[in-house]
Amino acid sequence: EALVAACPHREGLSAFDLCMAPLPIAMRFSNVALVLAATFGASSLDLALAASGKFRALAWSSSSAHDAAHHALDVDADAAAIGKNHTLPDLALPVTGDRLTKPTAAGRLLPIDETSDFERAQTSTSTETCGRTFKVTSKHNKHERCPDACPLYVQDRTDTDFCTFQCVAPSACVKLNAETQIPDLELGVCRSCVVEGCQTCDNSVATDRCAVCSAGYVLQDGECWFKYGGTWVYVVGGLLGAVFLFVVVWFIEWATRGTCNEAGLALGLKHREAQKMKVKKDESGERNHFPISTNLLRHLVAGPGLMLHFNFQAALIIWALVLACLWMGFATFVDNDLWILGTRKFGTPRMNCILVAWGYETQQRLMWTKVLFLWIVYIFSFLFWMAYGVYQLHSFQEVDFQNKTMKDFVLMIVGMPALPGTTKVEEDLKEALERQCGQELVGVSVAWDWQAYESEVRAAVKDDMDVQETLFKSSRNLAPPDTAEPLLSGVHKFFYKFEQKVLMLNTEDQETTEDYESSEEQGETGGMPLSGATRSIKKSIDEILDELTTSPISFAVFETQEARDAAFERLAGTGFSYEGTDGIQLEELDAEPDTVQWVNFGHSTNKEKAIRLAIGFCAILLACAFWAVVFYAPYAYYVLTFNYDNGRQPGPIVGLSFSMIVVVGNQIMYEVCARISDAVGFRFKDHREACYMILYTIACCFNVALDFVTTYHTAEAVMQGLGFRTYFGQSLKDINSFTTKFETYGMQRSLAENTYSYAFPSTFLIPFLIEPFPLIIAPLLLGKLVVRTHPEVQGRDAEEWVAMVPMEMGRYADLLLNVILGILIFYFPGGYTWMLFLGMAGSHLWIYTFDHYRTLRSTPSCTFAAYDIEWWCQALLAPIMGIIPACLVFKSNCEDNYHHCLKGPPLIAACSAAWFFHTVFHICCLTFVVPKFGKTPPEEDPCKDETFSSLARRIPVSWFTSNPVHCLRSAHIYNHKPPCSNFELGREKYMRPNPKVGVFYEEACKE
């Protein structure tokens, strides 16, 4: 009857259809249920609440998540009010235009707006009496306005209660609260002054005027000015502006300058293409690029290590999506408040009181869902990552069984005596080992201790390769490039010379086809003429090779895997003897020749590496301190001194600055950890990458810890500055216990927002959206610009300017850091949970896509052969996943059905114990349980016909060609004709085969 009375009939439509038309179906039934309950009395309350709850979830089909969530929140409040009061006075159901109104607990009718945030749409006028003190609770509408006669809310500081307010006229603001003397009709409150940098307002006037400024500011005419400013700021700004203008003009002129080095640019880009990931040599003798559609989850593009890495990325996307969907399921089927709990914004003191009351009550009412959610997440995550570990082990073993690589034909010789370079160690060791193991060897590649002569050795190897390249080009009558300086004048010539000086562009030592050696000299180096640089250092190279000593490690290469296995079984345990040294052992090796860092043999004992790692940790701490002081401190100072009164928040530029600070911090740690990992002196690249991943993860955790300590103290200062209290009225300033203060809803809500902002998009997405520019786009554009406009840049210089950035496994650390930040959100109200994990899944999908493209099209060929990096990644997941049970202990504290109620240090100790026991258990399972599910080798080897020589004909890198000193000794000590060619990525076509020295690769190239 009420509906019929309120809605005039129209032809073809019922009154119900007419009134409900503008609203989503779920909102219609939910609110109609409440109206019926209020109209017909308490007997209809159960029906009303049931209808409201059942239909509320349907709102997601026709309105946004936040709209429906806010609507559900207010429906719950109204339902509770109806249940308490049973009837609502003066109830009617008016319709204004297309908007239906609904009753509130105060008996007012507030409009429902389906097109905007529901809560903000229900602004109405309060029925409170002017000048009467009332206490706000969670049931109050925080957007409700005071009557026109007394349009301002003011907190009543004259009583002893908390969260009490009055509606007053503008002239009465200062009477109830001396600190809110300014009437603000727009906000509808009495507020304090809003002056940038102000610590204490001037309460003697009703204007925005400061009495005492914060540190770093000076007071002038009621305003605060940054005291460290002045003339120098303008001078520095002018200088920076001038430099910026100069750079802009320079780049405009540079970019518009004509091309004068087409040959050098073509050479550099061709070499760039030659370095990309390629398949093995086909029947035509060519090696083509992998298709862009290659499935990196299954195909070996850069060794099994890279395949495992992409599997990890895919697993993280699945894990994040499951957790997001799990929370969304709880929010949809349990309570809609779970969508927004902890996400509602701060505002005026009255709004904050309502927020704290509603948040505390809702959080306590729904704590059982959070605890249940954490139990499910913990069990699922543990089982998921254990299953993932088994899957990764199976994947690694499967590709190992199905493919023959260089590691299948080698044994590592350990315990060699130190021998001088004057002896022919390779031949003598080969003969001794063949005699004692009973198997024929292809050869022996000795790891020499040559770090002290690294620059000389690399220069000699480079010169030898340059000679081969020169011979190759001269045999095809390729004319040398024109390196004449272009005819420029005026500003163009100035910038051209400026570029040569700034970029140190070399104009000398360019490649020529002149000055070949005589036939006698060619005979001394196996028919390979020497370049001018090599001739000048030939004697010193011979002396260096004689002065080198062997390291304790060498590599014995067999023609077949069967011969290798037979030799290993025969000498297992007893070893063999050589040069008076007994017990020299043979070990199987899980590495490929292009992962060996030959320069690090002979000076990298475990003790030496441990000392370097300790020094590296000190460097990480110093780098973290540098970042904190130079970059983070100014931001922290600003947010700590910002005036948060009246609900003010820093602008979006502050949020962007914070994101950039995070990016800068991660990049500093990236560079420092990379240099430390190189300096440790690992003999194999996979070990170096595993160390780098661990160091980078730890370093980023330092950054995160510092961020969260600062964030906590910032939130504490803000909450105390705003006068926040606990639900029971205790001021935050009076709480001394860390755990008690941490659990207050005001702190929880603030820390939840800061954690979400830190994670997404600051850490999850922004760095990886930026990454293509410094990693691919900018270097390539700059390199092309340099080579295109400078004809003196030829040969290797041109190639290096447009070269690609090598691949490394630091991405593991990036992803692990994201997982840590994702899990930390569990400590706070769950409204951000689903958004954060959806953001994680989407961000990681972008990372996967970018890494896929970069691997196949913008990364020089590389190999990650071992399981070490993946295993350490899974090991690092153990303490990370341990955060979940620690959070579970924290959230279940003092809850029903749980037998612990701890406060202060005992609670922290309990959380730490949960973390510790999980970490130990997880690593034990990873170490002892997962390997038991490994695969057994097939009875018949699918690659039994593959031999070392057949494989070496299809790929250029081997245990001989990757060893620089071995190649030099082949040319200078053994005088092989031709000598063993050193493998250099992109120059494989210049390699010449010699089966007698174990080199079989020859590329059918087309110039």
What span, in angstroms and rounded, lies between the C-alpha atoms of 97 and 965? Answer: 88
Neighbours of 187 (CB within 10 A): 16
Q: What is the pLDDT of residues 551-567, one digit of tens each?
A: 999 999 999 999 999 99
3-state helix, strand, coil in the chain (%, to 5): 55, 10, 35
Measured from the Cβ of residue 40, the count of other Cβ atoms closer than 10 Å reads: 14
pLDDT value at 478 more than 90? no
The CA distance from 822 to 814, in Å, is 13
Best-predicted range by mean pLDDT among 520-524, 806-810, 908-912? 908-912
What residues contact residue 936 under an 8 Å CB cut-off, 6+ apart? none
For residue 546, the number of C-alpha atoms closer than 13 Å in the C-beta half-sphere is 7
Q: Is 501 exposed, middle or buried (0-12, 13-18, 19+ CB in 10 A)?
A: exposed
Q: Are 755 and 828 in contact (CB under 8 A)?
A: yes
User: SS3 of 278, please?
Assistant: strand
- 379: alpha, beta or left, given left = phi > 0 and alpha = psi -120 to 50? alpha
First to last CA, the chain: 91
Q: What is the pLDDT of residue 1004?
A: 66
> Closest Cα to residue 214, out of 628, 716, 633, 637?
637
What pLDDT, on a 0 to 100 scale, did the predictor assign at position 389? 96
**What is the band of 397 on the pLDDT scale with cuts at 50, 70, 90?**
very high
- The string of pLDDT tens digits covering residues 1-14 is 444 444 444 344 44
Of residues 280, 589, 598, the one with CA closest to residue 407: 589
Give the closest residue to 316 by CA, choosing from 305, 328, 308, 306.
308
Q: Which residues contact 70 (CB under 8 A, 6 or more apart)?
A: 117, 118, 119, 340
Give the residue-averaged pLDDT of 149-169. Answer: 87
Average pLDDT of the segment spanning 191-216: 86
Residue 536 has a pLDDT of 45
Structure tokens at 981: 């060619």
Strand order in the sheet with 164-168: 134-135, 164-168, 152-155, 189-191, 182-184
Pairing, β 410-414 against β 549-558: antiparallel
Q: How many CB atoms lie within 10 A of CB 118?
A: 26
- 450-472 in b/e form (b: 16+ CB < 10 A) is beebeebbeebbbbbbbbbbbbb
Could you read off the pLDDT of 75-88 as tens digits, one per residue?
Answer: 344 333 333 333 33
Model confidence band, residue 916 (pLDDT cutoffs 50, 70, 90): very high
Higher pLDDT, 897 or 358: 358
Question: Per-residue pLDDT for 827 more than 80?
Answer: yes
pLDDT above 70: residue 233: yes
714, amino acid identity: T
Rounded Cα distance between 174 and 184, Å, is: 13
Query: Among candidates 630, 80, 612, 157, which has minimal Cα distance to 337?
Result: 80
Residue 556's SS3 state is: strand
Distance of alpha carbon 554 from alpha carbon 551, whole angstroms: 8
Alpha helices, H only, 590-651: 606-627, 633-641
Choose from 22-31, 171-180, 312-321, 352-361 the range with maximum mean pLDDT.
312-321
Higher pLDDT, 195 or 854: 854
Tell me what the pLDDT averaged over the chain comes to. Answer: 81
**Kind and range of the H or E run holding 26:** helix 25-40
The answer on pLDDT for 409 being more than 90 is yes
Helices assigned H by DSSP within 334-410: 349-365, 367-402
CA–CA separation, 410 and 684 (whole Å): 15
pLDDT for position 647:
56
Instruction: Evaluate if residue 745 carries a pLDDT over 80.
Output: yes
- Taking residues 339-343, report their average pLDDT: 91
Amino acid code (one letter) for 433? L
CA atoms within 13 A on the CB side of 697: 26
Q: What token pair was written down for 267?
A: 């050479």
Find the mean pLDDT for residues 940-954.
Answer: 91
Instruction: Give the per-residue pLDDT at 526.
Output: 41
DSSP 97-139: TTEEEEE-TTS-EEE--TTS-HHHHT--B--PPTT--EE--TT
Q: Which of 864, 924, 884, 935 is nearest to 375 (CA)?
A: 884
pLDDT of residue 91: 30
Q: Residue 314 above 80 pLDDT?
A: yes
- Identify which of 1004, 985, 994 has the alpha carbon closest to the alpha carbon of residue 465: 985
Residue 286 has a pLDDT of: 76
pLDDT higher than threshold 60 for residue 539: no
DSSP string, 514-529: --PPPHHHHHHTTS-P
* 672 within 8 A of 699, measured Cβ to Cβ: yes
What count of Cα atoms within 13 Å lies in the side-chain half-sphere of residue 551?
23
- Identify which of 609, 607, 593, 776 has the alpha carbon closest to the alpha carbon of residue 678: 609
Res 951 pLDDT > 60 = yes
**Burial of 425: CB neighbours in 10 Å, binned 0-12, 13-18, 19+:** buried
Cα-based distances in Å from 670 to 624, 690, 702, 805: 11, 14, 13, 14
The pLDDT, as a whole number, for residue 639 is 75
**Angle of helix 811-824 relative to helix 883-891, nearest 10 degrees?**
10
What is the C-alpha R_g of the chain?
Answer: 37
Largest CA distance in the chain: 116
How far is residue 305's CA from residue 809's CA, in Å, rounded to a whole number? Answer: 9
Q: What are the Cα distances from residue 3, in Å, to 19, 572, 588?
A: 8, 93, 85
For 531-535, 774-778, 966-970, which range has the lowest pLDDT when averaged over its residues?
531-535
**How do 410-414 and 581-588 pair as beta strands?**
antiparallel
**Rounded Cα–Cα distance for residues 122 and 99 (Å):** 12
Task: List, for residues 106-155, the tens digit of each pLDDT value.
Answer: 333 333 333 334 444 456 677 788 888 898 888 888 888 899 889 999 98
Which SS3 state, helix, strand or coil, does residue 974 take? coil
- pLDDT number for residue 200: 85
Residue 282 or 420, more confident = 420
469: left (phi over 0), alpha (psi -120 to 50) or beta: alpha
pLDDT at residue 309 is higher than 90: yes
What is the predicted pLDDT for the residue at 197?
A: 80
The percent of residues above 90 in pLDDT, for the chain, comes to: 45
Looking at residue 483, what is its pLDDT?
72
Sequence-ordered list of residues with C-beta below 8 angstroms from that of 873, at least 6 positions apart, any chain: 312, 693, 812, 816
Name the pLDDT band for 645 (thresholds 50, 70, 90): low
**Which of 411, 488, 422 lies closest to 256, judged by CA?**
488
Structure tokens at 668: 């500093």
- Nearest to 956, CA basis, from 279, 462, 271, 268: 279
Kindly state the percentage of the chain with pLDDT values over 70. Answer: 82
Return the closest-CA partner of residue 130 out of 159, 88, 172: 172
Under 8 Å between Cβ of 784 and 257: no
Query: Mean pLDDT over residues 790-797, rounded?
Result: 90
Give CA–CA dist 196/213, Å, rounded: 9
Report helix angle 868-881 to 367-402, nearest 10. Answer: 170
Using a 10 angstrom Cβ sphere, with 0-12 exposed, 13-18 middle and 19 or more buried, the burial of residue 479 is: exposed
CA separation for the pair 319, 297 (Å, rounded): 17
Taking only the tens place, the pLDDT of each residue in 53-81 is 333 333 333 333 333 334 334 434 433 33
pLDDT at 292 over 60: yes
Using one digit for the tens of pLDDT, what is the confidence trace for 579-626? 889 999 999 998 999 999 999 997 778 888 899 999 998 998 898 888
Residue by residue, DSSP assigns 853-902 as HHHHHSSB------SHHHHHHHHHHHHHHTHHHHHHHHHTTT-TT-----
Q: Around Cβ 773, how many Cβ atoms within 10 Å?
A: 11
CA distance 264 to 270: 10
pLDDT score for 98: 32
Which helix (H) or strand (E) covers residue 719, if one does? helix 685-721
